[in-house]
Amino acid sequence: MNGVIGMTSLLLDHELSPESLDCVNVIRSSSNALLTIINDILDFSKIESGKLDLENEPFCLRDCVEEVLELLANQAAEKKIELMASIGPEVSEWISGDVTRTRQILLNLVSNAVKFTAQGEVVISAALRESESGENILYLVVRDTGIGITLKKIKDLFQPFTQVDSSTTRRFGGTGLGLAISKRLTELMGGSIWVTSEPRQGSVFHLKIPYRPAPAQKLPRAVPDDWRSKRILVVDDNQTNLRILTAHLDHWKLTSLAVSSGIEALEAMRKERWDAVLLDWHMPEMDGDQLALAVKQEFGNAAPPMIMLSSGTAFSKERFGNFENPLAAVLLKPVRRQQLQRTLAGVLNGLTDRRIARSTKTLDSNFARRVPLRILLAEDNPVNQKVAVRILERLGYRPDVVGNGLEVLEALRRQTYDMVLMDVHMPEMNGLDATRHIVITLSKNRPWITALTAGAMKENRDECIAAGVDDYLTKPINVQELQDGLVRCFRNFKARANEQELTVPIIRQA
């Protein structure tokens, strides 16, 4: 799968005729579908055989939820569905549990919700409830406004290989395993999952799991004191989104007013002064662009800074660049809370950010110039080798390649590298043995080691970490994840190098 998916993403970066582009896109979506099926079946058999152990580590619930929304943002934008998250103020941002499996359950529920919804909205919400014995329980809900499920079908829904009717399989794909896996995972967590639904009105998947608040692992970004005196106008026709946005603003102690149309927004601006306006692009009658232009026309330089919220497809970069730009910033939906806070901080300080927050281009040939690294790739499988080398080359790197652990050690004797991308399963000497060897023999002078493996389970990761790797990436290689991994290596390598530079003069003095 790594070969198919990796090569496909490389092909997509070529100039292709429209017909070839079509073919490649079909290969890509089919291979992603196949990967889902394989992963589902593997997961399911692992759970059924009782071999699945859950992690219990602190993680940020908001990040987990926002990541799920981000993964499905394009799909939702294409269907013009609003995708939102609402986490109650009573819920601790950090909880203990298994982040991978929590994300998997939510991803499955939200991707079903998007799949079976033609218009309207999909919302994840989190709140606390009390159990019968008086303990707090984390209550997660995924609600959609889609086709719904009849009462008769609901009872079989969580059975493996079940789909509501076979015609939907043809139309929407899927294995019928997602909900069965979600149910088993939830039960392993000590929780329960159920659904309520009304045909043609939508479905609500409910999830209750034990609530284990954890101490924050990262300090939240501080809110400046003067935000208490700032006033923000929020304009969106979608009531859920208005509620969520004003909840964020309340959390930061900002004063806000929510209105649901461009006309009301203009009225509010005539009456009172605003420090910033958050406006949705996709609104009936007067859309975000029209409103922004109307504001500029009526108020000129006295117009408050405007932050546009837009979903990927509705808002093209070209158009944004072309019209005389009255906007202070554009944020792509679904907006992460932290991103909104950062943008507001910039705008309220009088800075404007004309960049669009999330870039779509994946392979940037200047990447290596910004993140320069000498890379050794250790991978025995020729197809995987080719995929990794091509992706790295597209990013501007010239990696050296070896085929097993012994060759890694040999290469490191000959030359210095900043990073080893280390496949785990290799003949002669595997990646973990090679890592152990490097850690012992080269100690502080060793390169950064990032393991590459198809094993996405916790045990696989634990094994890698125990062997001494610095980082961990799973195959099939995802270009974005690889880039993130390169950046992590670069930051840490620089940090180490700087440390050594600092110590040099002291040794000389001695």
Contacts to ligand ADP by CB under 6 A: 108, 112-113, 116, 144, 146-147, 149, 157, 162-164, 168, 174-180, 203
Nearer residue to ligand ADP within complex by CB, 120 or 305 = 120
Contact 149/198 with Cβ under 8 angstroms? no
Helix (H) or strand (E) holding 279: strand 276-280
Nearer residue to ligand ADP within complex by CB, 163 or 241 = 163
In whole angstroms, give the CA distance from residue 5 to residue 10. 9
Which two three-digit tokens encode residue 102? 């929590």
CB of 175 to ligand ADP, least distance (A): 5
In whole angstroms, give the CA distance from residue 196 to residue 198. 7
Nearer residue to ligand ADP within complex by CB, 139 or 227 = 139
| CA of residue 66 relative to chain centroid, distance | 7
CB of 187 to ligand ADP, least distance (A): 15
Nearer residue to ligand ADP within complex by CB, 108 or 246 = 108
CB of 82 to ligand ADP, least distance (A): 15
Rg of the chain on CA atoms, in Å? 25
CB of 169 to ligand ADP, least distance (A): 7
CB of 195 to ligand ADP, least distance (A): 8
Q: Which amino acid is at 268?
A: A
CB of 149 to ligand ADP, least distance (A): 5
Q: Please state, in angstroms and as integers, the Cα–Cα distance from residue 465 to each residue in 4, 402, 403, 439, following that order.
A: 28, 22, 22, 12
CB of 191 to ligand ADP, least distance (A): 17
Nearer residue to ligand ADP within complex by CB, 153 or 296 = 153
Provide the 3-class DSSP secondary structure of residue 379.
coil
Nearer residue to ligand ADP within complex by CB, 142 or 387 = 142
Residues 188, 189, 191, 196, CA torsion sign: negative
Nearer residue to ligand ADP within complex by CB, 170 or 508 = 170
Which two three-digit tokens encode residue 105? 């359950």
Provide the 3-class DSSP secondary structure of residue 144.
strand
CB of 117 to ligand ADP, least distance (A): 7
Nearer residue to ligand ADP within complex by CB, 175 or 404 = 175
Q: Burial, 6: exposed, middle or buried (Cβ in 10 Å; 0-12, 13-18, 19+)?
A: buried
Q: Residue 352's CB: how many other CB atoms inside 10 A?
A: 14
Contacts of residue 153, defined as CB under 8 A and 6 or more positions apart, other chains included, come to 164, 165
Q: Which amino acid is at 258?
A: A
In whole angstroms, give the CA distance from residue 1 to residue 27. 11
Q: Which amino acid is at 409?
A: L
